[in-house]
Structures are given as C-alpha cells and as structure tokens.
Structure 1
Amino acid sequence: MDLFLLKKVISAAIMPINLVLILLTLSLLYCRKRPKRSVKCLISAGLLLTISSMPVVSDKLMVNIENKYESFTHSSKPVDYIIVLGGWHVANDALPVTSQLNTNSLERLVEVLRIYQLHPEATIITSGYYIKDQLSHAQTMKQSLVLLGVPANKIMTENFPKDTEEEAQLIGPRVQGHNVVLVTNASHMLRAIKYFQAQGVEPIPAPTGFMVKNINGPKGWGYYVPKSKSLQITTAAWYESLGLFVQWLKSLL
C-alpha cells in the first residue's frame, strides 16, 4: 500500500461515522462476555453520532475553519495566475463534462469563472491527477471551463499531484514572484495557503463553497435537532483539523 492510499485509509477510519461503526461493532463483540463494556460502547456511539449531527456543534466547528479568509473581491494589481486546486469527478461519457464534477469541484469551477471575468488577463491553472480515467481531473476541469467560454489557451493543466502538498510543490516554483489567486473550498483554504507559503508563494485566497453561510442568522428549533447535513459538516471540519495537525507535525521535522 503506497503512502497516499495509507493516509486516505487512516483518515477515513477516524472520521465520526466510522468511529461510530467501530464502537457499535465493539458493542456487539463485547455483548456476551463483557456486557458492561458493551453498554459503554453503545452509549458512546450514540453520543458521538448525536453530537456530531447537531447543527449547533457542527457549525461552530466549521466556522472557525472557514472564516480565516474573506471572499475574493478584486485585486488592485493584474492577476497573473488563478490556481484552482483539484477536487473529484466521476467519468461518464453519457453526462456533460460539468455533470461529472463533484460538488466541491463545481463550486471551485464557478469561483474560477467569476474571478476570470474580473481578471481576464490571468492564466488559469487546473490541477488533479489521473485515477483510472483517460482524463486527469485537471483536464476535466479544463474541458468544463472551455465549455463555459474560457479560451483553451488561457488554461494550463497540472496532471500529476495527488494532494494539496504535491500541488504546492509542483505549481509553486512556476508561479513564484507572480500575483496569484488561489481557489479552493473555504474549509480547505488555511491548509492550502500554508503549503504554498512553504514554497515561497503568497497567493491571494479565494475561498468558495462555504458550508456555514450565516452562523449569526436567525435560528429556529430545527437548529438544535440532529441532521445528516450537520454530520457531513462535522466530518469535514474534523478532516481539515486533522490535516492541519499533520501539517504542523511535518513542519517540526
């Protein structure tokens, strides 16, 4: 198993829903021989699932990550590059290329288009590797942008990075000394900025795909009831917090 796959397996195993499943499995295993421990595992699973699914908890966790940077408005200087970090897609020739992109990639695509309309002088860099498809994610994003009106000669692709650290390592040297805008999801921006700064690049952040739109807005009773969407937000917040922790550990080595 390569290091990239190992990281994915470990991170998936310690996500909230999978921790709940592990606790439930332990509860079943302990059921006959250690009933008290079985009950503890069962209660722990129920509490973890309930707390992780509460909007009042998930939103607080996420807003502390997402609100590190403001949305991009306009650069006072010409923009040389708009970098959009890789997301995910599922190849299916029966679908338009834009429909093959997952939600995060679509959010980034829309933000790139918005910024390109403000700064048509910029060159767009798309990123993302091949999985089993003929086209890399970077090429799929490029096709989508061309379909939506961006000239193909204004788009460069970086087809090999598997994660954000590799994206910064491969793209960073190319854009050093240039005015760069970095597009990724708001929850991911802090970690992405730090990786590019480590490569000597100071990009202008352009966060998109905010999962918490207005934490100070009016709240109804439903805000205090567990929801599947809140479990998704908690999972994303936990994933990014874990990523930031690993990033910090690497910086000490």
Structure 2
Amino acid sequence: MAGVDLQVLLHQLLGAVLLPPFVYLLPIVAGLLLWRRRPRLARALSWGGVLLAWLLALPVTAITLNGWLERYPPATLQQVRQTQAIVVLSGGKKPAPEYAANVLAADSAARLRYGAWLVRRSGLPLLLSGGAPLGGEAEAQVMAHSLRDDYALSPRWLEDKSNTTLQNAQFSVKLLREAGISRITLVTQAWHMRRALPFFQQQGLQVLPAPTGFTRYDGAGVLNWIPQGRALQENHQALRELLGALYYAVRSLLAG
C-alpha cells in the first residue's frame, strides 16, 4: 500500500497551522496566557479569536470568500459538444465499512455526477484523474468503480498517479495527446477551477471550464448570519484554496 505523498503531507501541516480552527484558537489561547500580565491585550486577543470563529462559521462569509474563487460560469451543452473529451478531477475518497470498500468523498462524488451527466448528453469520452495522495487505493480507481456501479458508464482513460492538481494536468495530457485530444471540458468544483484551469492550459490544451458545486444556500437575509457547521467547512476550503493560489503565485515568481 502506497504511503502518504511527502509534498501533500507538508501542505497538510502548513494548512493545519494557517487555517481554521488553529487560526482562531491561537489568539484565544494567547489571550488566556496573557490574562494576568497584559489584561487589555489578552481581552483583545481572546475576543478577536471569538469574533473570527463566529465569522468563519457564517454562510455570508462562505458566500463571499468562495465568490472570489468561483469566477467561471456553468458550461453549456453546446460548448461541451465542441470539445473532444471530458476530464474529471478527483476530490478525495474515504473508507466505507458498510461496503467494505472505499467510496468517494463529497467533492469527488459531485464532480463525477456532473461528469456522467455531461457524458450522457454529449457522447464524449471521459478521463478520470486522481492518484492516492494520502495512500491506499487511487481516487481515479474509486471513481471508476462508482461510475460503473452508479451510472453504468466506463471511462476511456484512467490517470491514477497524480497527487496534486498540477500533476493532474501533467499526467492527463500525456494520455490525451496519445489519442489526438487537444480540446477538453474540465470538471471540478467551482472554487477549485481558478487554480486547476491554468495548469491544464499550460500543457497546451484548449480548456472549457465546467465548474460544479457552487457555494449556495437556501434562504436569505438573517439566515446567512446564523453560524452553521457547513459554512465553517466551506470557509475552510475557500481559505485553503486562496492559500494554495498564493503558494503557486510565489513559486511561479521565484521561478521567474
């Protein structure tokens, strides 16, 4: 069984320090430690941490943060039919004891469902991309099982070695070029498309973004100011994605 990819592990550790819950727990803990020596500073830190925790649990914050990332509109079927293949990126897997097997995490399931929907309406061949960044079975293999069992479809290509979004593009383009494919429809989460699309374009492909999983909530007004667990998760993913975009921007700048 393959182990955890070192680069992925480092990204996970960095994210644990810079993202929720550590990012708002740290000032609260610091405030408690300084309570006797620096009471004013301690109160400011503690209440600042509490305020940040509240903000990061609000739907309105999730809508705002993800709105900065979700820059691409949904693709039309007419646009999809003008491409030559559909590429679906994986978004995680998890063990399911009731099936005695791995199943798709929510992001992977949403992407695969939309990819299958597009395949049935366009007739285009499908490429599934995703390795095993956390070890074990490749995510593309899990997607292929779900595609067969849940949608009665089969992928044309399976790219199961990549552990990052950049590798998704680098490894997928090799399979596509062998088949003479240069125009693709790319399926991933709306908040992920901003980072994923340039990687595939840099490989010389013409790419139609087909985002799915837009950040939306039922209801409006005061409901968007009531803390929710889902909002906390979506704010975490948005901040992680923004941090990732900053990382690749700095990396590109340093590389010239």
Into which bin does the TM-score normalised by the smaller protein fall? Answer: 0.7 to 0.9
Match of 2:115 among 96, 105, 112: 112
2:111 is paired with a residue of what secondary structure? helix
Gap change, CA 1:23 and 1:247, over 3 Å in 2? same
Deviation at 1:52, TM superposition (A): 2.0
Structure 1 segments of 4+ aligned residues over 6 angstroms from their partners: none
Could you tell me how far apart the structure 2 residues matched to 1:93 and 1:226 are?
Answer: 31
Gap change, CA 1:62 and 1:123, over 3 Å in 2? closer
1:62 is paired with a residue of what secondary structure? helix
In the TM superposition, 1:65-80 aligns within 5 A as 65-66=69-70, 68-75=71-78, 77=81, 79-80=83-84
Could you tell me how far apart the structure 2 residues matched to 1:23 and 1:251 are?
Answer: 32
Aligned to 2:160: 159
Aligned to 1:148: 150
Aligned to 1:238: 239
Structure 1 contact 138–157 (Cα < 8 Å) conserved: yes
- Identity fraction in percent: 26
Gap change, CA 1:151 and 1:61, over 3 Å in 2? closer
2:209 is paired with a residue of what secondary structure? strand
1:199-220 per-position Cα deviation (integer Å, ceiling 9, x unaligned): 2222111111112268xxx733
1:185-242 per-position Cα deviation (integer Å, ceiling 9, x unaligned): 000001000111122222111111112268xxx7332223333332222222211111
Tell me the TM-score normalised to structure 2 length: 0.85
Alignment partner of 1:223 is 2:227: no
Deviation at 1:162, TM superposition (A): 0.9
Structure 1 contact 173–199 (Cα < 8 Å) conserved: no
After the TM superposition, which of the residue ranges 46-55 and 171-180 deviates more from structure 2?
171-180
Gap change, CA 1:109 and 1:4, over 3 Å in 2? same
Could you tell me how far apart the structure 1 residues matched to 2:199 and 2:16 are?
Answer: 22
Aligned to 1:122: 125
Could you tell me how far apart the structure 2 residues matched to 1:190 and 1:130 are?
Answer: 21
1:142 maps to a residue whose letter is A
Tell me the TM-score normalised to structure 1 length: 0.86
Match of 1:18 among 16, 22, 26: 22
Match of 1:181 among 185, 203, 213: 185
Structure 2 contact 186–207 (Cα < 8 Å) conserved: yes
1:43-91 per-position Cα deviation (integer Å, ceiling 9, x unaligned): 110121122223333212212211x112122145454321111211112
Could you tell me how far apart the structure 2 residues matched to 1:15 and 1:131 are?
Answer: 19
- 5+ residue gaps in structure 1? none
Structure 1 contact 189–207 (Cα < 8 Å) conserved: yes
2:239 is paired with a residue of what secondary structure? helix
